[in-house]
């Protein structure tokens, strides 16, 4: 086939991720020709409004998916946490790449850890999930909306005099900015977003030729973990701009899923975990997603019964 056309958001981080994908593909297929097609998404264009107020799913994926469906690109590279749980007709999740660090990190101007931030400290983040969990741990903090790419947020922290910002560790590490990290936030305080740290490759449904070209990058363990996370999110409402956190991990032959629903003010928190044995998955090449999806739905139902329904109802989530 001609050069593989790979669609990417045009941010520094997104292009880094796309170049990483290409480098990994060339490890297995040195002669594979790839072309990066930069595409600006709605979320990249609207930078002066908090994500939660835009009120639209697919803020960072829709334009890529349109290009994919119209045949302008063959593959769309996404941060998996940006990808809605329901994909548009004609698009499929082709490959889930190996996950890097899924945690959130704190970056502070005075090298303060989260516990050391002064009372009333202003902490920048664009995520309701992060805001809610920060307030649950430190009700005295003042979360402030902060949009833009990693480098833009670091600059705004200085310009706006914020004491700290919270970002995904994966993005900071991929841009080789590890020295700016003050603290990796423990999961007990800040559980990550669904799919955080993972890169997804979306393709046209049924495009077996492209799937064959990218299949070598598929990581079964990550795919199982995020399938459980995404099933939980889908049952709880499906959108990425509600305070829902989850993390799937494979330990000792088990898939362990943690989930958390938090009110926006941080005062209400419902959390739980479930696990399932993964024995037998080797018979299907590890690709039987029914098991992790069922785990995600079951944990979601448990959280709803224990109070998450009331929290989400306040946010007008259709359950």
Per-domain residue ranges of the chain: 1-98+198-218, 104-184, 219-319
What token pair was written down for 52? 């939660």
The chain-wide mean pLDDT, for the chain, equals: 91
Question: Would you say residue 135 has pLDDT above 60?
Answer: yes
- Residue 78's SS3 state is strand
Taking domain 1-98+198-218, whether its CATH number is 1.10.3720.10 is answered by no
Report the CATH fold assignment for 104-184.
D-Maltodextrin-Binding Protein; domain 2 (3.40.190)
Q: So what's the pLDDT on residue 240?
A: 45
From the CB of residue 9, how many other CB atoms can be counted at a distance below 10 Å?
A: 26
The model carries a pTM of 0.92
Q: Which CATH class is domain 219-319?
A: alpha beta
Residue found under tokens 């060339």: 26
Q: How far is CA 39 from the centre of its chain?
A: 19
- Alpha carbons 130 and 190: distance in angstroms, whole number: 7
Q: Where are the alpha helices (H) located in the chain, listed in sequence order?
A: 12-28, 42-45, 51-54, 62-69, 128-137, 150-159, 169-174, 208-214, 220-236, 290-303, 309-314
pLDDT tens, position by position, 142-186: 999 998 889 999 999 999 999 999 999 999 999 999 999 999 999
Q: So what's the pLDDT on residue 72?
A: 96
Question: Would you say residue 129 has pLDDT above 50?
Answer: yes
Q: So what's the pLDDT on residue 245?
A: 97
Question: Would you say residue 252 has pLDDT above 80?
Answer: yes
Q: So what's the pLDDT on residue 57?
A: 62
Question: Would you say residue 221 has pLDDT above 70?
Answer: yes
- Active-site positions read 82
Q: What angle do CA 183, 184, 188 make, to 5 degrees?
A: 120
pLDDT tens, position by position, 14-67: 999 999 999 999 999 999 999 999 998 866 655 555 555 555 567 778 999 999
Domain 1-98+198-218 and domain 104-184, same fold? Reply is yes
Give 34's Cβ-side CA count (13 Å radius). 25
- Alpha carbons 273 and 293: distance in angstroms, whole number: 14
């Amino acid at each position: 086939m001609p050069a593989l056309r790979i669609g990417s958001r045009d941010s520094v981080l997104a292009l880094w991720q796309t170049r990483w994908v290409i480098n990994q593909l060339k490890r297995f297929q040195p002669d594979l020709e790839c072309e990066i097609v930069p595409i600006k998404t709605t979320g990249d264009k609207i930078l002066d409004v908090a994500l939660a107020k835009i009120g639209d799913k697919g803020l960072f994926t829709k334009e890529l998916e349109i290009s994919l469906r119209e045949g302008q690109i063959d593959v769309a590279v996404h941060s998996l946490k940006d990808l809605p749980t329901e994909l548009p007709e004609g698009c499929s999740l082709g490959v889930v790449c190996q996950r890097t660090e899924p945690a959130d990190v704190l970056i502070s101007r005075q090298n303060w850890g989260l516990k050391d931030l002064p009372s009333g400290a202003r902490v920048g983040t664009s995520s309701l999930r992060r805001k809610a969990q920060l307030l649950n741990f430190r009700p005295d903090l003042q979360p402030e909306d902060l949009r833009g790419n990693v480098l833009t947020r670091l600059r705004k922290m200085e310009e706006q005099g914020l004491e700290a910002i919270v970002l995904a560790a994966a993005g900071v590490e991929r841009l080789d900015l590890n020295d700016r990290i003050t603290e990796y936030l423990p999961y007990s305080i800040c559980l990550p977003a669904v799919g955080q740290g993972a890169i997804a490759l979306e393709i046209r449904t049924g495009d077996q030729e492209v799937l064959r070209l990218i299949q070598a990058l598929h990581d079964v363990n990550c795919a199982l973990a995020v399938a459980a996370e995404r099933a939980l999110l889908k049952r709880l409402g499906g959108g990425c701009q509600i305070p829902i956190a989850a993390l799937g991990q494979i330990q000792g032959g088990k898939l362990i899923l943690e989930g958390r629903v938090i009110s926006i003010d941080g005062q209400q928190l419902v959390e739980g975990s479930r696990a399932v044995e993964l024995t037998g998955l080797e018979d299907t090449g590890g690709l039987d997603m029914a098991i992790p999806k069922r785990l995600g739905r079951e944990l979601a139902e448990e959280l709803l019964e224990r109070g998450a329904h009331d929290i989400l109802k306040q946010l007008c989530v259709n359950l």
